[in-house]
Amino acid sequence: MRYIDAFNHFFPKQLWDKMLQADGAAKDIGHRMRGIPCIYDLDERFRVMDQFGDYTQVLSLGMPPLESLGAPAETEEYARLGNDGMAELVAKHPDRFAGFIASLPMNSDNAAAEAERAFKNLGANGLQIHTNVNGRALDHPDFFPVFEMAERYGKPVLLHPSRGASMPDYADEEKSHYEIWWTFGWPYETSAAMARLVFSGMMDRLPDLKVLAHHLGAMVPYFEGRVGPGMDQLGKRTTDEDLGEVLKRLKKRPFDYFKDFYADTAVFGSRAATVCGLDFYGADKVLFASDSPFDPERGPGYIRDTIKVLESIDMPQAEREKISYRNAQDFFGLKRD
Amino acid sequence: MRYIDAFNHFFPKQLWDKMLQADGAAKDIGHRMRGIPCIYDLDERFRVMDQFGDYTQVLSLGMPPLESLGAPAETEEYARLGNDGMAELVAKHPDRFAGFIASLPMNSDNAAAEAERAFKNLGANGLQIHTNVNGRALDHPDFFPVFEMAERYGKPVLLHPSRGASMPDYADEEKSHYEIWWTFGWPYETSAAMARLVFSGMMDRLPDLKVLAHHLGAMVPYFEGRVGPGMDQLGKRTTDEDLGEVLKRLKKRPFDYFKDFYADTAVFGSRAATVCGLDFYGADKVLFASDSPFDPERGPGYIRDTIKVLESIDMPQAEREKISYRNAQDFFGLKRD
């Protein structure tokens, strides 16, 4: 089977070098990621990819969100270096990299302009946007031009979780949260961002916008009962504002908007989650993705596990092809060969 | 099929009357819940239950956590009224109520004593504990005596979500969170509480303690990949403390502790979630529960939907009986007839 990996992470050399020379957050990230050669070393990358036959990647930057790395002038430069570097990789290695997802300096007024440059000049296949912008929710009007730009160019937005303002901060226990912010906080953040896109009316204003929620739609499939009959009761649990008005403003039932999202298979090899997520989104909305190289083996683990899970699930061949690569071709606007 | 509903909510009359006479939070809750007669009106309760044949309930109080309703002297009184009232209901209507789960004034030094009173004098079948105590995490040493008491009496703890310190608080958007705190925040809170019980070593210190996580184990089944290979990498994402030490202190792999939890079927009629949750916890660890009366119909909806989901899933008769009522008999120590 052919596989196009829709969500996995890499730093192009020009950005990687810049990060290591920088001060503060960017340098810290660089030093931490040094233990994962597959995220910056192209030879290691190819060695990992060689294990998987007809397998190509749509590249995106690794965490963290660029906007967390400095003032706008700085994050604009990171975005340019990153996006230029990605475009070069795709141009130079079309047999390896089927496309790339641009990253934006979301703390800058020029974020939408960088999106346009990436689409027009670099052929970017989508935008990676983190689930909050330094703690600000994605439905803030400042960010609307970015989503509008994606819709105008017919390119998708891929939501990547980020450590946000929603993490536990128990008064008596300030340290050692056991990385709960990663295990459960990230899917929570993604789900909260999805809800805000829905309830703010963004999906009504931009009906052709395609949004993918990383990690098989975060919490939505397992909590479809909350998203469905639960959210139908919006406002019943709240006394201080009339949330019933929010429901009236929307054109559809909340549940139906959540069904409009796309999702990917990056659930670290969980078969049960894959079955559950496929049940919710359907074979037209789910794209194969591995989240490589963030597996314990630093590269091949989740690619191999995810393929194995998909192979273990009985489904018609046409659906299997959609999930494995055809949906990615449509979603990203890749050329077919 | 016989069904014992392991998690559903009711206010005994003496507590209900007291709440309506009280000031502040307790009165607000009472007034809001008035629109749900099935949570305080026994006749309505029986009318709903009559729709389901061989169907009994293990009762617990409705939200919110008692400790959020006032100073210790006040919450101690609520707990006594609630637990006494529950015990009376079970004594008077054994054909309706198979048992009850006690509630505690968790903000009081007398919480463990109230647990002991409920077990010894009232025959309580377990404890309902919310996922944080007015923002304090459950692994705080102050709460250890409560868990210890549950283990000593061989009675389970049932974790119920509560709006905690983990809700989003985006700087620029202070209102209208669209009840995300309920839809996604509650499962997040439950999952975070489970992680803290695991990583704090509570499960090692109290190896015979049984803990049930409401709503089919919250986020754990869908995110078993994060709980498994993800948590095996604990500390790799953190630079400011050595979380690798936490792993070394534990007797088992984090994943295995999460497998030790019990869970219930209260997922608001989601078949896919039920399949996924059963896959993770297995038929020995999942108990039928409806979360009645918090459905759009205010009583019968989720009971009916949950039974329908279970009936639609193919499984051996022995497993079906376990999930429907036999696990509840063992878990709560109910007498068999």
CA closest to A241 among chain B residues: B176
Pick among B29, B63, B159, B178 to test the A interface (most A CBs inside 10 A): B178
Decide if B184 and A184 are in contact by the 8 Å CB cutoff: no
Decide if B167 and A169 are in contact by the 8 Å CB cutoff: no
More confident residue, A84 or A241: A84
Decide if A137 and B173 are in contact by the 8 Å CB cutoff: yes
Percent of chain A with pLDDT over 90: 78
More confident residue, A337 or A206: A206
Strand A55-60 versus strand A3-9 pairing type = parallel
Decide if A164 and B168 are in contact by the 8 Å CB cutoff: yes
The two three-digit tokens of residue A90, written as one number: 């795709």
Task: Enumerate the residues of chain B whose CB falls inside 8 A of the CB of residue A171.
Answer: 135-136, 165
Contacts of A50 (CB under 8 A, 6+ apart): none
Minimal Cβ distance to B276: which of A185, A226, A276: A276
Residue A314 to residues A163, A231, B285, Cα–Cα distance (Å): 36, 32, 27
Q: What would the mean pLDDT of A7-27 be, rounded to a whole number?
A: 92
In a 3-state reduction of DSSP, which class is residue B129? Answer: strand
Decide if A230 and B132 are in contact by the 8 Å CB cutoff: no
Decide if B184 and A195 are in contact by the 8 Å CB cutoff: yes
| Cis status of the peptide bond prior to B64, with omega within 30 of 0 | yes
Decide if A267 and B232 are in contact by the 8 Å CB cutoff: no
pLDDT digits (tens, 9 = 90+) for B268-301: 999 999 999 999 999 999 999 999 999 999 999 9
Minimal Cβ distance to A276: which of B227, B232, B273: B273
Closest CA–CA distance from residue B257 to any residue of chain A (Å): 14
Q: What would the mean pLDDT of A284-303 be, rounded to a whole number?
A: 96
- How many whole angstroms separate alpha carbon A316 and alpha carbon A278? 13
Task: Enumerate the residues of chain B whose CB falls inside 8 A of the CB of residue A192.
Answer: 168, 180, 184-185
Which CATH number applies to B3-332? Answer: 3.20.20.140
- How many whole angstroms separate alpha carbon B72 and alpha carbon A19? 53
CA closest to A266 among chain B residues: B225
The pLDDT of residue B298 is 94
Task: Enumerate the residues of chain A whose CB falls inside 8 A of the CB of residue B169.
Answer: 165-166
**What is the C-alpha R_g of chain A?**
19
| Best CA proximity match to B230, nearest among A10, A306, A184, A277 | A184
- Using CB atoms within 10 Å of the CB of residue A124, give its burial: 0 to 12 exposed, 13 to 18 middle, 19+ buried: buried
The pLDDT of residue A83 is 98
Task: Enumerate the residues of chain A whose CB falls inside 8 A of the CB of residue B275.
Answer: 272, 275-276
Percent of chain B with pLDDT over 90: 78
Minimal Cβ distance to A184: which of B183, B191, B273: B191
Strands in A3-9's sheet, in edge-to-edge order, are A3-9, A55-60, A97-100
pLDDT digits (tens, 9 = 90+) for A165-187: 444 443 334 334 788 888 998 89
Q: What would the mean pLDDT of A124-147 be, rounded to a whole number?
A: 94
Decide if B227 and A183 are in contact by the 8 Å CB cutoff: yes
- Using CB atoms within 10 Å of the CB of residue B47, give its burial: 0 to 12 exposed, 13 to 18 middle, 19+ buried: middle
What interface predicted TM-score (ipTM) does this complex get?
Answer: 0.93
| Best CA proximity match to B290, nearest among B84, B45, B91 | B45
CA closest to B222 among chain A residues: A273
- Using CB atoms within 10 Å of the CB of residue A161, give its burial: 0 to 12 exposed, 13 to 18 middle, 19+ buried: buried
- How many whole angstroms separate alpha carbon B55 and alpha carbon B302? 14
Handedness of CA A222, A227, A228, A231 (dihedral sign): positive
Closest CA–CA distance from residue A96 to any residue of chain B (Å): 27
Q: Are A136 and A166 in contact (CB under 8 A)?
A: no
Closest CA–CA distance from residue A213 to any residue of chain B (Å): 15
The DSSP letter of residue B334 is P
Contacts of B136 (CB under 8 A, 6+ apart): A170, A171, A172, A173, B142, B143
| Best CA proximity match to B276, nearest among B236, B193, B230, B217 | B217
Domain boundaries, chain A: 3-169+178-219+262-332
Q: Are B145 and B112 in contact (CB under 8 A)?
A: yes
Decide if A230 and B170 are in contact by the 8 Å CB cutoff: no
The two three-digit tokens of residue B166, written as one number: 């983990």
Decide if A168 and B140 are in contact by the 8 Å CB cutoff: no
More confident residue, B242 or B140: B140
The two three-digit tokens of residue B49, written as one number: 């239950």
Closest CA–CA distance from residue A14 to any residue of chain B (Å): 24
B76-85, B144-153, B170-179, B265-274, range with the lowest pLDDT: B170-179
| Best CA proximity match to B302, nearest among B2, B78, B8 | B8
Task: Examine the pLDDT at A303 and tell me if it is beyond 90.
Answer: yes
- How many whole angstroms separate alpha carbon B78 and alpha carbon B70? 10
- How many whole angstroms separate alpha carbon A117 and alpha carbon A83? 9
Task: Enumerate the residues of chain A whose CB falls inside 8 A of the CB of residue B175.
Answer: 241
Q: Are A306 and A273 in contact (CB under 8 A)?
A: no
Pick among B29, B133, B138, B183 to test the A interface (most A CBs inside 10 A): B183
Q: What would the mean pLDDT of B9-29 be, rounded to a whole number?
A: 91
Q: Name the most confidently modeled range: A185-189, A232-236, A313-317.
A: A313-317
Decide if A221 and B221 are in contact by the 8 Å CB cutoff: no
CA closest to B181 among chain A residues: A192
pLDDT digits (tens, 9 = 90+) for B227-260: 999 898 888 776 666 788 888 999 999 999 999 9
- How many whole angstroms separate alpha carbon A322 and alpha carbon A10? 25
- Between chain A and chain B, the number of residue pairs with CB atoms below 8 A apart is 231
Q: Are A117 and A87 in contact (CB under 8 A)?
A: no
Closest CA–CA distance from residue B33 to any residue of chain A (Å): 9
pLDDT digits (tens, 9 = 90+) for A66-115: 998 999 999 999 999 999 999 999 999 999 999 999 999 999 999 999 99
| Best CA proximity match to B11, nearest among B60, B51, B57 | B60
The pLDDT of residue B239 is 63
> What is the DSSP track for A157-218?
EEEE----TTS---TT--S--TTHIIIIIHHHHHHHHHHHHHHTTHHHHSTT--EEEHHHHT
CA closest to B190 among chain A residues: A184
**What is the C-alpha R_g of chain B?**
19
Task: Examine the pLDDT at B166 and tell me if it is beyond 80.
Answer: no
More confident residue, B231 or B147: B147
Can you state the angle between helices A301-312 and A271-281, rounded to 10 degrees?
60
What letter represents residue A57's amino acid?
Q
Closest CA–CA distance from residue B309 to any residue of chain A (Å): 12
What letter represents residue A312's amino acid?
S
Decide if A222 and B270 are in contact by the 8 Å CB cutoff: yes
| Neighbour count for residue B73 (Cβ, 10 Å) | 10
Mean pLDDT estimate for chain B? 92
Minimal Cβ distance to A137: which of B170, B233, B269: B170
- How many whole angstroms separate alpha carbon B71 and alpha carbon B80? 14
CATH 3.20.20.140 corresponds to the domain A3-169+178-219+262-332: yes
Minimal Cβ distance to B241: which of A136, A175, A188: A175
